[in-house]
Structure formats: structure tokens, C-alpha cells
């Protein structure tokens, strides 16, 4: 059995032909789900493509190799009823969810495949007077302006493990705010997990904070006061939401 895919983005399409099921999952489907950067081979040469820019991924299978794989329109020439007969989206998703992973990881994969909650999850150090004040006076305040719920792990009422709850909240949230002031190792771990899921991650740190080298190349919001933080965070969310905040 050979597996194929059609990737749609903007007004263009890219085609993947004659993959094994495992290869299609590893090289196409999971990068699409996680919004990762992948290598595409086109007539113009090899290019890097951010899967976050893709609009739709169609999956199908055939018993035989597509001999005309170089003809990129071959999929479009298939009649709609033929395509439906060969559609294998549910099969591929079931394969992903049924892989040899523990129940918790399968749950996270399923959550990542669902539309996110209108929620901002905040990763930050606890028990710091300045940061606790910033959370209440800036993060929660600005999120409300965009009709987004703002959550921190110490507000989640659940009897489960803290680590599992943290990862679930990240998987379910539309945006993940990571304030790395204080350089707590767990905050860096959670930031990496959010990146791996392809979440829209907003990185922040107080101006007095030294950014560790492994994230120094990423775009940070560096803030000095809560007023400064509110202004800069409002600007970033406005850009992500594609317009003005609810209160503007």
C-alpha cells in the first residue's frame, strides 16, 4: 500500500507521493500537526517550509505506486468519488494515536489535534512578588481584553500530577506565554514542549534578566514595568489575533 498527501497553502499546493505509512506520518503528518519547519523538494529546488502556513492536508492511499508522480496534477485529476474511496485520514490519525506510547502521551496528541481553547496558558516562576504582580496586573488583564481566559498551573483545580496537568494545559491552549524571568529549569522545559507542539509561544523576560544562549535567537518581549509589559503584550496579541483587542 502506498500513501500520498496533498498540502494546500495560500493559492499553491504541494504533493507527496508513494510514501510508506510510517514515513508519511513522520515526515508529513506530524510536522503538519505540530507546525514544524520541513524540507520540500520542488521543481525550483529544495526549500524550507513552515507547516504553520499550511491550510489543509489531504491524505489518501493506493494499492499501486503512482507511476506519474512527477505529474503534480495527478491527484487533482482523480474524480471526487475516487478520492473518497481512497481517503485514509481517519486511518492515519488512528495510527498516530495508537502508537506505542503511554496513555498520557496519546491523550496529549489527541488534544493537540483538536481546536484549541480560547485560552492563554502562562509558564512562569511562582512565589516571586514582582512576577505574581505581573501575572495579575498584566497577563490576566491583557488576555481579558482579547476575550481569552488566562490560566497558570497553580489555578488548576485537579488531583492529578502537576507535570501532566501542565502539559495538558499547554496542549489545549491557543497561546502559551513563557516568562523566563528567574531562569527556572522547569519553565525552559515547558517552553520547549510548547514549541514542539507548534503552539504560538510568546517569550518574555524582565529587562534585567540574562537570556540563556539556547533561546537567545528567539524574539523576546523584554519588559521593565507592568505598564510596559501590558503595552508590549497587547501589541503582540493584536498581531497574532489579526486585529485590535476587544477594548480598543
> pLDDT band at residue 90, thresholds of 50, 70 and 90?
confident
Tell me how far apart the alpha carbons of residues 88 and 112 are, in angstroms, rounded to a whole number. 20
Q: Identify the band that residue 82 occupies on the pLDDT scale cut at 50, 70 and 90.
A: low
The pLDDT score that the predictor gives to residue 100 is 47
At 108 the pLDDT is: 63
What integer is the mean pLDDT of 191-213? 84
Query: Across 49-63, 132-146, 154-168, 189-203, which has the greatest mean pLDDT?
Result: 132-146
Higher pLDDT, 107 or 87: 87
- Count other C-beta atoms under 10 Å from residue 210's C-beta: 8
Mean pLDDT, the chain, whole residue set: 80
Residue 77: pLDDT above 50?
Answer: yes
| Confidence grade of residue 247 (pLDDT, cut at 50, 70, 90) | very low
Res 244: pLDDT: 52
Q: Quote the percentage of the chain above a pLDDT of 70.
A: 78
Residues 4, 62: Cα–Cα separation, whole Å: 8
Model confidence at 79, in pLDDT bands (50, 70, 90)? very low
**Cα–Cα distance, 136 to 150 (Å, whole number):** 10
List the chain domain ranges.
2-100, 112-241
Tell me what pLDDT residue 248 has: 44
Q: Does domain 112-241 have CATH number 1.10.10.10?
A: no
Q: What is the pLDDT of residue 25?
A: 87
Give the mean model confidence (pLDDT) for residues 114-128: 88
Query: pLDDT per residue over 133-183, tens digit each?
Result: 999 999 999 999 999 999 998 887 665 566 778 888 898 899 999 999 988
The yes-or-no verdict on residue 121 having pLDDT over 90 is yes
What is the b/e burial string over 159-173, where b = at least 16 CB atoms within 10 angstroms of the residue's CB?
eeeeeeebbbbbbbb
Cα–Cα–Cα angle for 234, 142, 146, rounded to 5 degrees: 85
Q: What is the mean pLDDT of residues 86-112?
A: 66
Q: What gap in Å lies between CA 2 and CA 63, rounded to an integer? A: 6
Q: How do residues 11-39 score in pLDDT, each as one tens digit? A: 788 888 889 988 888 888 888 877 788 88
pTM of the model: 0.59
Amino acid at each position: 500500500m502506498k500513501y500520498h498527501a496533498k498540502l494546500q497553502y495560500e493559492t499553491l499546493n504541494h504533493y507527496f507521493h508513494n510514501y510508506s505509512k510510517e514515513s508519511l506520518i513522520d515526515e508529513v503528518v506530524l510536522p503538519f500537526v505540530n507546525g514544524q519547519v520541513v524540507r520540500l523538494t520542488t521543481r525550483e529546488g529544495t526549500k524550507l517550509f513552515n507547516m504553520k502556513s499550511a491550510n489543509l492536508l489531504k491524505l489518501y492511499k493506493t494499492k499501486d505506486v503512482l507511476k506519474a508522480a512527477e505529474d503534480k496534477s495527478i491527484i487533482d485529476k482523480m474524480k471526487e468519488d475516487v478520492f473518497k474511496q481512497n481517503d485514509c485520514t481517519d486511518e492515519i490519525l488512528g495510527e498516530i494515536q495508537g502508537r506505542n506510547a503511554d496513555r498520557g502521551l496519546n491523550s496529549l496528541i489527541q488534544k493537540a489535534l483538536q481546536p484549541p481553547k480560547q485560552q492563554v496558558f502562562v509558564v512562569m516562576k511562582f512565589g516571586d512578588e514582582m512576577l505574581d504582580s505581573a501575572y495579575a496586573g498584566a497577563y490576566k488583564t491583557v488576555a481579558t481584553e482579547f476575550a481569552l481566559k488566562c490560566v497558570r498551573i497553580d489555578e488548576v483545580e485537579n488531583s492529578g500530577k502537576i507535570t501532566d496537568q501542565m502539559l495538558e494545559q499547554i496542549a489545549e491552549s491557543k497561546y502559551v506565554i513563557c516568562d523566563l524571568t528567574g531562569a527556572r529549569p522547569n519553565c525552559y522545559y515547558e517552553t520547549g514542549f510548547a514549541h514542539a507542539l507548534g503552539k504560538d509561544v510568546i517569550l518574555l523576560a524582565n529587562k534585567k534578566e540574562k537570556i540563556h544562549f539556547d533561546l537567545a535567537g528567539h524574539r523576546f518581549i523584554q519588559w521593565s514595568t507592568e505598564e510596559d509589559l501590558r503595552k508590549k503584550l497587547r501589541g503582540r496579541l493584536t498581531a497574532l489575533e489579526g486585529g485590535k483587542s476587544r477594548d480598543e
